[in-house]
Structure formats: C-alpha cells, structure tokens
A and B are shown apart, each in its own frame.
Chain A
Amino acid sequence: MNMFEEIEKIKTELPKAKSISKEIKNFKLNFYQIFAGILYFIVICLGIIFGNLFPTCGTSSALYAGSCITTEFNFSLMLCIWLVGLIVCIFIFAIGHIINLLEAINRKLKK
C-alpha cells in the first residue's frame, strides 16, 4: 500500500479554526498569564535580534574555508533563545493557572 493511502486512512482531521478561537476567547487570563505572554513576545524579538547580532558563517561550501565571505542569520541561537524563553514563560503561565484554580476553589468554599 502507498504510504499516503495508509496515512489517509488513519489520519485525524485538524480542529476547526472557529472552535479554536472560541476556546481562546473563553479563556480568562490573569496578571501572571498576561505577563508570560508579553514576556514570550519579548523573547521572540530578542531571539531574532541575537540571531542577527551573532551571525554564523554563510553557505555550507564556505563552512570549512579559512575566512567567511558571507554571514548567515544564526538560526540555532534564535531557536535556543526561543526554547529557553518558552520554558520560562510556560512556568510563569502555569503559576498563573494554579492561582486561577485556587481562586476558583476559594470562591466555591465561600458559597
């Protein structure tokens, strides 16, 4: 059997864009979660800036040459910064989520 035919039989469809947007709209963010979002946006910008600031040697043919004639955007550095930023932001976001849950429990107990 062709690989794509096999995939076509098994694969699950993507969710609807409307349902995703509805879920996002229903999600209420607290201060920590908004802060994490803003921080990640800053990290993304920082990654792009750092990738541009510390370029690597250009094309693959010139990797082992003594002198780099062309410089290339440092994609790996950018990805590293993004990954570290993502982990930190997920941590802050998770704290915000825990606070949300505790507040919800407190509200229920008061009732």
Chain B
Amino acid sequence: MAEKYALTAAQNMHYQWIKSYKTQQVAGLSIAAAFKFDLDFEILKKCLMLEAERYGCLRLRFTKPDKNGEIQQYLAALDDEPEFADLSGGSMEDADRIMQSWAYITFDGDDIPMTEFKLVKLPDGFRGFFAHIDHRLIDSVGVAVMVGDVMQLYAYYAFGAEYPAELADFEKVLKSDLDKAANPRRLAKAKKLWDEDLDLNGEPLYSDIQGRSVLEEARKRHGDPDLRCADIERKQLFVAVKDYKLEAESARQVMDFCMQRQISPTNLLLLVLRTYLSMVNERQEDITVENFISRRSTTDEQTSGGSRTICFPCRTVILGDTTFLDAAKKIQNVQNRIYMNGGYDPELIRAEMKRRYNTPDDTTYVSCYLTYQPPLPLSGNPKLKQIPIRVKWFANGAATKKMYLTVSHLPDGQLNFSYHYQTVCLEEKDMEVLYYFMMRILFRGIEDPSRTLDEIMDMV
C-alpha cells in the first residue's frame, strides 16, 4: 500500500484556494507543446506513459478530506493512455479555443488521477501534446522540466539520441521537504520574522491598481472608515488574459541592468509594480505585492517535479525620496529574508494577521500577484533544436487573484508580460494602462537609478 503524506506548504496554498473558491478549476494548469515536423504519435504516446513513471509527481492522488477537511497525498499508477485529438482542420486560433476549453475542465473526485495527456495534431504542421494537471502536482518550472524530458525521450526513441539522465526521486524530495518544514527551530525562526514585520509596520494597507477608491468603497461597505483591507471577489472568477511583449533589445537592457547592479529580475519587477501602486494610491508608501517563488535550489529539487511554487507577501514601506536603486536593494533584502524562510506556510502569516487585526473574512491587503518565470529548458538534442516549436500555456479560467502578472522569456529574446485579470472588476484597458506605466517606470528607473521614486512618478 502506498505511503501517505501531508501536503507541503506550496500544495496547501492551492488546496486552500480550492476550498475557499469551492472549485478545483482554480488549480488547473495546462500547456500545449508542439513541434513542426512529422512527429510519430505512437512514439510520443510511449514517451508520455514513460514520463509518468519517471516523473513521480504526475502520479499523485489525494485522499478524501477527513473530518477536519485535511487531505493526504500518495503515489499511484497513471494507466490511462493519452487520447488523440486532430485539431488540424481549422485555424490555430480554432485549435487554441478548443484546447482552452479543455483547460477549464476540473478534476472532480477523491483518489483519482490528477494528470491528463492528449496527443494533438495542430494546424500548420504542428504535432505534440496537451497536458492538463492539477497545480498541486506540478508548477511551471516542473512543467518545463517535463516537456524537456519528454522530448529527450522522443529523441532517444526516434533519433537514437542518448537516453536522458534519470530525474530526481519525487518521493524522496517530498519527504525531505516535509521534514524540513516540521523542524521546530525553522518554524519558530520564520514565525519570528513575520511577527517582527507586523510589530514594526503594523497592519498592512491595501493598494489597488484602480486606485484608492477601491479601499474607500470597502470602508463604506464594512462601515469602518479605518479599514485597511478590501474585499475579495469569491464568485465571479472568470479571468481574461492580455499579453504584451517587450522587444528583445529593451529586454536585454533590463537584464543587463539586473546583472550589473546585482538585482534579480523578480525584485526589479516587484519594485516597478509597487511604484505603480504607490503612484495610483496617493503615493502610498506601505505597499504589499504577493510574489511567487519557485523553491528549486538543489539539483534534486530542480528535476523532482512537484509543486514548489509558493506565494509570500512582499511588503515594503519605502519613502518617495528613496532612489530607485536603494528601493530595489530594500526589496532585495526583504526577499532574501523570505527566501531563507521559504518553507514556511503563508497561511500562518494570514492567520496571524487575522488574529492581530481581526481582518474581516473574504478580504485582502493585496491586489497584485507577480511571478517571474525562467525560460523553458527544452531539449538540447540538435535534431529537435532546429525544429520550430510552439508552446502555449492556457489559463484555467478561474482567478483567485484580482490581477496576476506572469513575466517570462520568449525564445526570440522578448519578455512576455502576461496579465491575468478578473473581468468582473477589470478591463483590458486597465491592463494597457498598467503595462504602459510599468514600462515607463522601469525605463526611467534603469536609465538613471539615482532618481528617486518621487521623481520617477512625476516623470511618467
């Protein structure tokens, strides 16, 4: 009988969202990876089945919730063969629409497989696969490793390339994670870190991409003129996606700045986003943005799969006369402290805030979420490298967040800014304005990082 394990903090984050929003749809993760060549579907099917054996996280299942609503996880076989879908009859937009509809499908039930593959024949000569997986099994970096490994397996069977190296044992890494998280000294240290922040800065203050009016409306609704949080949309979760591409030369300038100033791209983006929030919220200095980090540092963690992405509040109180560079370093310091305690369960942070400030149910201090994704490490096989590839991520259609920005690198050197926004309260125009000002702030900052935040906000 398979051994059962508790959820990690990262998995619990998704599980809590599933419970809060009452649908597994919020945990859907979907991608299509296709190559423009006469790919052999029988070989690909064999590779996908083999991948489920090699990459243990794909075989995870969850138990029925106990009386406290807690679930456990265990490994089981993934026996279902991928179905074949011929979507080559229409345009690529038609094919994307169909695959998008698959991304909305939920995995409903206990003790069931949470991974589904389909073989897809797409227009314009592209052939590949569609993967639909519960986010508690895998994150975007894990998916990138999976896609790369499947294609290496394909290269082995189709072209006689070298057999890919074994991936790290998911179960071993899971046990290590759970052991580390249960370490009482680690727990106490992380709790102290978060408690000290609240001791120093007090209750956080909500900031919205639509400005102060959102908080003011929440204050009226709750009859509390001092309320510092705003309501979360729990019912109308439909999300739209708007992508903007920063051209390669400008993207290179950004990455050069990061390299020269030893500022990580994540921290630079956090600074830009928080500066925008400050600008549209009457120069508010206390800003919190939720940031996703992918906890993959050891070589085992990099190839073991699993859902290791976890979201922590990046709260900074930065005065307007702080220089762009100093503000970036301040964020870096905050983030470093978070990284050092990355195994902590963010639910405990929210619980502590609720305990201290009696935060009303279904409210939040945060309107924006950020994730910065590394490039997909696709197969190094020379035969595959020359073949055009099409990788597309599909939103699950149910946003737990008002605005979720994913910044990723494109193969042509561009940076993709993908804004997922709840359509009940935001429009495409809001995203257009946000992107426009983010770029203005970013480039005014990196062209002269000795400018103060006030100066930059005045300029843009």
* A and B form one complex: no
B residues engaging A (CB < 8 A)?
none
